Amino acid sequence: MLKVDNINVYYGNIHAIKDVSFEVNEGEIVTLIGANGAGKSTILKTISGLLRTKTGDVILKGESIKSVAPHKIVAKGLAHVPEGRRVFLAMSVEENLEMGAYTQPASSIAPNMQEVFQWFPRLKERRRQMAGTLSGGEQQMLAMGRAMMSGAKVLLLDEPSMGLSPLLVKEIFEIITELNKRGMTILLVEQNAQMALSVAQRAYVLETGRIIMQGSAAELLNDDSVRKAYLGA
């Protein structure tokens, strides 16, 4: 479904991503774990087109998207929920959701929004409220709902648990699992490795821009070095 093939990404002279390759198959949840500054967000931004790779390729459904403009990648069925949510604070919940459906025909906005409201009933209550007045958890829901409005089949999630209470983290992860059950392919970036490994089927471990380990989520959950470095055990 999504294939990252030997990418190298730079910020000026800083070589942030080094020879990274991985794959997400249709219907999978794959997680990318790593410490602060490992390069997780950089990889997601490269997939969604905000950053460019110097080498290799990014392939979505068999088609290279490494030189496709970001706004056209969304239309190909890949949505990216960025780190820190980045909802439009000066716009209402409804307007944020409309923006999520920017590439969709106007007729699909209403039904898509109803569906998002079923996933996140709290957004429905607050639909006329400015996004800037939502709580962190609600903003995360809005960011995810907004991405779902695009009708995407592949979802990139960058630290959805960041700054949320344990209860909300649980709620968000239940929704991620449920979305996946209904056919969504998900690439999940997390610092909360415990949570991420408990919902994912496979995982890659990133360290200073390189993939240093990969395997099934269960394998990594039981791996000593992973437990030491990322699970605080």
Partner 1 sequence: MSLISQIISQLVNGLQSGSIYALVALGYSMVYGIILLLNFAHGDIIMIGAYVVFYAMTSFSLPPLVAVLLAVIACTLLGALIEKVAYTPLRSAPRLSLLITAIGVSFLLENGAQLVFGAGAKNVPSFIDGGVQIGDVYLSYVSVVTILVSVASMVVLTFLVQKTKLGKAMRAVSEDMGAAQLMGISLNRTISFTFAVGSALAGIGSVLYICAYGQASPTMGSMLGLKAFVAAVLGGIGSIPGAMIGGFVIGLLEALVTAVGLSTWKDGVVFAVLIVVLLVKPTGILGRQITEKV
Ligand X SMILES: Nc1ncnc2c1ncn2[C@@H]1O[C@H](COP(=O)(O)OP(=O)(O)OP(=O)(O)O)[C@@H](O)[C@H]1O
Contacts with partner 1, residue ranges (CB under 8 A): 45, 48-50, 69-72, 74-75, 79-80, 82, 86-91, 95, 98-100, 102-103, 106, 146-147, 150
**Residue 38 contact among Mg ion, partner 1, ligand X, none, beta carbon within 5 to 8 Å by kind:** ligand X
Checking 96-102 for CB contacts under 8 A at 24+ apart, the result is 96/131, 96/142, 96/146, 97/123, 97/142, 97/145, 97/146, 97/149, 98/149, 99/146, 99/149, 100/145, 100/146, 100/147, 100/148, 100/149, 100/150, 101/149, 101/150, 101/151, 102/71, 102/74, 102/150
User: Which range of residues in 19-27, 39-47, 168-176, 218-226 is near Mg ion by CB under 5 A?
Assistant: 39-47
Q: How far is the CB of 208 from ligand X (least distance, A)?
A: 8
Question: In one letter, which amino acid is 95?
Answer: E
Contact between 57 and Mg ion per CB under 5 A: no
Tokens 């479904």 label which residue?
Answer: 1
| Cβ proximity to ligand X, 43 vs 74, nearer residue | 43
Tell the smallest beta-carbon distance from residue 205 to ligand X (Å): 12
Distance CA 148, CA 168 (A): 19
Task: Between 87 and 168, name the residue whose CB sits nearer to partner 1.
Answer: 87
Q: How far apart are CA 167 and CA 37, in angstroms?
A: 26
Task: Report the alpha-carbon distance of residue 229 to residue 226 in Å, rounded.
Answer: 5
**Closer of 126 and 146 to partner 1 (Cβ):** 146
List the single partner that 53 binds among Mg ion, ligand X, partner 1, none, CB under 5 to 8 Å by kind. Answer: none
> Pick from ligand X, Mg ion, partner 1, none: which does 91 bind, CB < 5 to 8 A by kind?
partner 1
Nearer to partner 1, 84 or 215 (CB): 84
In the complex, the smallest distance separating the C-beta of residue 156 from partner 1, rounded to whole angstroms, is 9
CB 96 to Mg ion: min, Å: 21
- Picked from Mg ion, partner 1, ligand X, none, the partner binding residue 198 (CB below 5 to 8 A depending on kind) is none
Q: Could you list the residues that contact ligand X (CB under 6 A)?
A: 11, 14, 16, 34, 36-42, 83, 191
- Partner interacting with residue 59 (select from partner 1, Mg ion, ligand X, none; CB below 5-8 Å by kind): none
From residue 30, give the alpha-carbon distance in Å to each of 2, 14, 116, 189, 196.
Answer: 11, 27, 23, 9, 9
Nearest Cα residue to 31 out of 217, 169, 162, 208: 217
CA atoms of 34 and 12, how far apart (whole Å) = 22
Residues in touch with Mg ion (CB under 5 A): 40-41, 83
